[in-house]
């Protein structure tokens, strides 16, 4: 029995030793799944990688390796210089218009006197037989050329004073449009014939961009509206005053566009005569709000000029507030407001007070003459006439 108890004790001791010395297999380990679970929760390589990346970036920066930096913020442009240019250009435009009106009236008076003298001198000296013999001596080509010139002259004389005035503006816009199609002039056209407050050249494009169109449709639309309202605006203001208003409206509308672009940070370039044309349209519509207007493709649809002006101003206001970029809505609004303001107040504040300048110019041109000066032309009286 003692031997049996000793054998059993020895067998248990060897069994325990064998369990302690035998390597445990992971497949038989009852805690294997739990340990793997702990490993998954404790495994956080992303944090270590981020820390290692930060340390690498720091060391790379310290070592002088270039690291991409965020783009710098573009400072908002200052508009003091364009504002001074707008005021100065507007004043010079109306001053030059007053002098041009004086010279035009003086030239007309002198031409009328010369024609009267020439008619008196030629009476009875030549008859129809002389001109008949002269015509027969001409060649066929000379006769065709004279007939062509006569037709052009008849067409020109059939135009109104307003249509004759805007013909030069239309021709200048067409010439600038052709310049946009010349590849070697692209850089100069972008620099001087597009307006942007972020550009280095900001003052001169305020004038030149009012005669610049890149799209043919854009130019045709603007020039068509200008042609339609040219007779009314020139009869209202006169040729010289109209030119001053047109040029000033182009600069003022661009200044308003500069202000809105600088305030919103949308510093994209603009071009076109829409601001100046809107001033002409607004001046006519505000002075004659009951005039009937129509659409060229829908002649049966008619509306008053006052209604058209309200719709255009409302559309441009909505476009400015909503950030539409199809047109330069700020320039449209600037031109429209300038046109309304000028026929209501600007004529009295600017054009009626041109007399001292005209008197000074008269004294310079005719220092020995103290007589009367040429009278006032269209639009030079007490106020705009309808």
Phi and psi dihedrals of 161, rounded to 5?
A: -65, -35
Report the alpha-carbon distance of residue 213 to residue 220 in Å, rounded.
9
Residue 138 region by backbone torsions, left for phi larger than 0, else alpha for psi between -120 and 50, else beta: beta
CA dihedral (143, 144, 149, 153) in degrees, to 10, reads 90
Whether the Cβ atoms of residue 260 and residue 330 lie closer than 8 Å to each other: yes
> Which residues share a beta bridge with 304?
292
Whether the Cβ atoms of residue 211 and residue 176 lie closer than 8 Å to each other: yes
Q: Which residue pairs, CB below 8 angstroms and at least 24 apart, start in 131-134?
A: none
Whether the Cβ atoms of residue 143 and residue 135 lie closer than 8 Å to each other: yes
Report the alpha-carbon distance of residue 25 to residue 15 in Å, rounded.
18
Which uninterrupted H or E stretch holds 298? strand 298-304
Active site residues: 274, 332
Helix, strand, or coil (residue 294): strand
Spatial CA neighbour of 193 closest among 178, 174, 180:
180
Report the alpha-carbon distance of residue 282 to residue 271 in Å, rounded.
20
């Amino acid at each position: 029995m003692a031997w049996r108890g000793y054998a059993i004790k020895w067998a248990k001791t060897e069994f325990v030793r064998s369990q302690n010395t035998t390597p445990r297999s992971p497949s038989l380990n009852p805690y294997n799944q739990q340990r793997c679970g702990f490993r998954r929760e404790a495994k956080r390589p992303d944090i270590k990688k981020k820390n290692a990346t930060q340390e690498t970036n720091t060391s790379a920066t310290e070592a002088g390796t270039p690291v991409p930096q965020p783009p710098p913020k573009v400072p908002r442009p200052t508009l003091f210089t364009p504002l001074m240019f707008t005021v100065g250009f507007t004043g010079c435009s109306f001053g030059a218009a007053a002098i041009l009106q004086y010279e035009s009236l003086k030239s007309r008076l002198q031409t009328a006197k010369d024609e009267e003298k020439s008619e008196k001198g030629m009476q009875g000296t030549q008859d129809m037989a002389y001109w008949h013999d002269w015509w027969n001596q001409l060649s066929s080509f000379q006769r065709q050329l004279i007939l062509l010139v006569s037709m052009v002259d008849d067409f020109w004389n059939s135009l109104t004073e307003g249509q004759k005035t805007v013909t030069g503006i239309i021709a200048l816009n067409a010439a600038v449009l052709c310049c946009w199609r010349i590849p070697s002039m692209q850089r100069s056209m972008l620099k001087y014939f597009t307006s942007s407050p972020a550009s280095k050249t900001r003052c001169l494009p305020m004038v030149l961009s009012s005669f610049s169109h890149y799209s043919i449709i854009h130019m045709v639309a603007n020039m068509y509206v200008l042609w339609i309202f040219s007779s009314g605006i020139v009869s209202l203001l006169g040729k010289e005053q109209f030119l001053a208003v047109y040029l000033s409206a182009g600069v003022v509308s661009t200044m308003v566009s500069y202000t809105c672009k600088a305030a919103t940070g949308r510093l994209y370039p603009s071009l076109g005569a829409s601001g100046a044309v809107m001033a002409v349209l607004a001046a006519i519509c505000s002075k004659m709000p009951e005039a009937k207007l129509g659409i060229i493709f829908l002649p049966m649809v008619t509306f008053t000029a006052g209604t058209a002006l309200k719709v255009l101003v409302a559309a441009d206001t909505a476009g400015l507030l909503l950030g539409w970029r199809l047109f330069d809505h700020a320039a449209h609004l600037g031109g429209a407001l300038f046109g309304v303001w000028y026929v209501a107040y600007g004529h009295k504040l600017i054009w009626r007070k041109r007399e001292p300048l005209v008197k000074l110019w008269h004294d310079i041109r005719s220092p020995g003459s103290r007589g009367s000066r040429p009278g006032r032309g269209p639009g030079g009286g007490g106020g705009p006439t309808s």
